[in-house]
Structure 1
Amino acid sequence: MIVPPSPLNKRRKETTEAQRAKVITLYEVGLTYNEIEERTGVKRSTCWNIVKRDKDRQKPGSLTPYTASAPRSGRPEKLNKREKRNLISLAKRSRRMHLGVLTKSITTKVSMKTARKYLKQGGLHKRRAKRKPFLTKLHKLKLDEVDSEECLLPSFKSGRTSIMIWGSIQLGNKGPMVILPNGGLKGKDYVELIIEPALKPFYQSRYRATHEAIVMEDGAPPHKSKLASAARNKYNIQKMPWPAQSPDLNPIEKLWRIMKSRINKREPRVTTHEALSKALQEEWDRFVAEDFRKLIESIPKRVKMCLKNRGGSIPY
């Protein structure tokens, strides 16, 4: 047996803008609500509401009747204001928490799509964490390096084998590149393979030309060795003090990334030690002074950002 729907649950059909305009026009020419209902088929109570809305919302002096639909509140939100604040606060405290876990951590059951919408309203968006060198509190005290630290993914030195190279640049000039042997680099090797045959001639030639020069290099053990310090003192090579774990300020790091990217795109792929050495030298020879001029000129800006961020990372 088919049960007919209850009249109480029957949903009325919404009137169109044309019907509302006709109701308002008939009312303005003097017809009663009963007469309007007979002509339009719209119930008398609905006609009364249409006319009232026109009187309340029509702009002063306008001859056009107000026939727009009444504003609706829409579906109630799943989370109230307090629950939204809790969700956003939890996301800020646990930046690397998976969205699914974050969604299950709140009392009200919502979908991941809904949770993502509320987080977006709170200014939180899905991003991939940046890899930056891990900085201890001691590093930060020594390094006055703009990223929010909870959005960073610290990187640590790996033990993979690769070709080590050394190079030098100066504003308007490019020095030699040295391909170093495998097996690590000690202080003695740094002096014999880099300082004496490469760094000393380039430094002295630039000093004679500009009457000022200073070496910027990180705190790798060979750079800090007693033999290297003695060699720099012997040849009057000035070295900039360099805090630990800070590759971000050195402009030559950008050139290494460019070289790596170019070599990775080569076809056929570089697979042997000899081919990689040759490719590195070719890519180094491709660089001209204009390629690194902007990098060197950006150093004052990097230093200011470093000081402003009080030891945190900077976007370089």
Structure 2
Amino acid sequence: MRRLTQNERLRALGMLQIGTTQAAVARTMNVSQSVISRLWSRYRDTQSVQDRPRSGRPRATTEAQDRFIRTLALRNRVITANQISARLQTDTGVRVSGQTIRNPLHRGHHRARRPRVIPCLRGHHIQARRRWCRDRQHWDNRRWSNVMFSDESRFTVDFLDRHRRVWRRRNERFQDVNVIRLDRFGGGSVMVWGGITVAGRTALHVVAGRVTGQYYRDNILAVHVVPFARRHGRRFIFQDDNARCHRARIVTGYLQQQNISTLPWPALSPDLSPIELVWDMLGQRLRQRQQRPANVRELAAALQQECDNLDQNDLRRLIRSMPRRINACLANRGGFTRY
């Protein structure tokens, strides 16, 4: 049942005093008539609309101790509630439970969440990211529309969906209906390559075997990138990451021979590449399929089908986020961004 705020109580009281019925006031305030009835009875008995004093269990910690708890959590983000409890007992002599520690943290809008896993950026990586972003800070969406972003990603047949939940009763944790069997080696995997631009995208290429410089040149660049570049025109710019096969001499020489401009890329910068989110979109679509792929062949077919079903407007929005990505990286002084 919704509780009325102080201003709502005063407003309801004013309506009652001018003769409005309790039912009409309840409809106006979007509450039941019993709430208005109790409010009117309380006012007639006490001449006040304030809540009566309520009894309750006394707090185990003071405001100062709550601030101490929140300060510890802010200074050491991985500290546990039990560790804070032990520290509180050592420093103040107050012994409380882990849940008592969590209460002031929750009131302060602190929540325990899984930490985000990001690449380990060294000093030279950060400097390279800042230089790269400064050089392209003034690129507008018209210029980014000439860039093809490309990447490879691997998908496994057996993947663990950590968003799935099961309804179970007590002592049923390991029953067959409540467990998910996962092959630690993935049950087979498929590596795919793709490229996206504002105007379109390449077909999803399923990699057969190991990606070497020669395979990358003959089966990906020659088949997908070069035809796309010729259709796009002289302003076409090709982007890929710093994988060894991408920087092989036969690859760089081939791109120069085809007069394809390339976009230099700072190491360890997946947050700056919009195509990384395309793989997340494909993974989400695989998890939402009613019938999951049972083998590598079905997985490859499902990936190609889901890639064809992607909305080009979504891909366009990803690429048009590049100015925001660059500004976020510069604002974080070359550090990792939320992207």
The interval holding the TM-score normalised by the smaller chain is 0.5 to 0.7
Q: Aligned AA for 1:102?
A: I
TM-score by length of 1: 0.66
Give 2:225's aligned residue: 199
Pick aligned residue for 2:295 from 272, 276, 286: 272
Give 1:311's aligned residue: 334
Pick aligned residue for 1:94 from 76, 86, 89: 76
C-alpha deviations, 1:254-312, integer Å up to 9, x for none? 22111122123323320211111111221222234223111111111111111111122
- The residue correspondences of 1:202-217 to structure 2 (distance < 5 A) are 202-207=228-233, 211-217=234-240
Cα distance in 1 for residues equivalent to 2:56 and 2:294: 62
Query: Is the contact between residue 81 and residue 99 of structure 2 (CA under 8 Å) also seen in structure 1?
Result: no
- The residue correspondences of 1:1-316 to structure 2 (distance < 5 A) are 77-80=59-62, 82-107=64-89, 108-144=94-130, 162-182=189-209, 184-207=210-233, 211-316=234-339
Q: Aligned AA for 1:97?
A: I
Query: Is the contact between residue 88 and residue 119 of structure 1 (CA under 8 Å) also seen in structure 2?
Result: yes
Cα distance in 2 for residues equivalent to 1:65 and 1:275: 74
TM-score by length of 2: 0.62
Change over 3 Å in CA distance of 1:250–1:104 after alignment to 2: same
Unaligned runs of 5+ in 2: 1-44, 134-153, 156-184
Secondary structure of the structure 1 residue equivalent to 2:298: helix
Change over 3 Å in CA distance of 1:232–1:74 after alignment to 2: same
Change over 3 Å in CA distance of 1:123–1:274 after alignment to 2: closer
Secondary structure of the structure 2 residue equivalent to 1:168: strand
Q: Aligned AA for 1:124?
A: H
Identity of aligned residues (%): 31
Cα distance in 2 for residues equivalent to 1:115 and 1:253: 39
Cα distance in 2 for residues equivalent to 1:190 and 1:73: 73
Greater Cα offset, 84-93 or 251-260: 84-93
Cα distance in 2 for residues equivalent to 1:169 and 1:69: 61
Query: Is the contact between residue 216 and residue 250 of structure 1 (CA under 8 Å) also seen in structure 2?
Result: no
Q: Report the Cα offset of residue 123 of structure 1.
A: 4.4
Q: Aligned AA for 1:230?
A: G
Q: Report the Cα offset of residue 104 of structure 1.
A: 2.0
Cα distance in 2 for residues equivalent to 1:272 and 1:65: 74
Cα distance in 1 for residues equivalent to 2:304 and 2:57: 65
Q: Report the Cα offset of residue 214 of structure 1.
A: 1.3
Q: Report the Cα offset of residue 168 of structure 1.
A: 1.3
Cα distance in 2 for residues equivalent to 1:70 and 1:228: 79
Q: Report the Cα offset of residue 141 of structure 1.
A: 2.2
RMSD, aligned α-carbons:
3.1
Q: Report the Cα offset of residue 122 of structure 1.
A: 4.1
Unaligned runs of 5+ in 1: 1-63, 146-156
Query: Is the contact between residue 172 and residue 290 of structure 1 (CA under 8 Å) also seen in structure 2?
Result: no
Secondary structure of the structure 2 residue equivalent to 1:190: helix
C-alpha deviations, 1:174-203, integer Å up to 9, x for none? 222211113x31222211111111111112
Q: Aligned AA for 1:92?
A: L
Give 1:58's aligned residue: none
Matched pairs, number: 239
Q: Give the number of the structure whose alpha-carbon radius of gyration is greater.
A: 1
C-alpha deviations, 1:88-147, integer Å up to 9, x for none? 2221232122222222222221222221222234442222322333323332222239xx
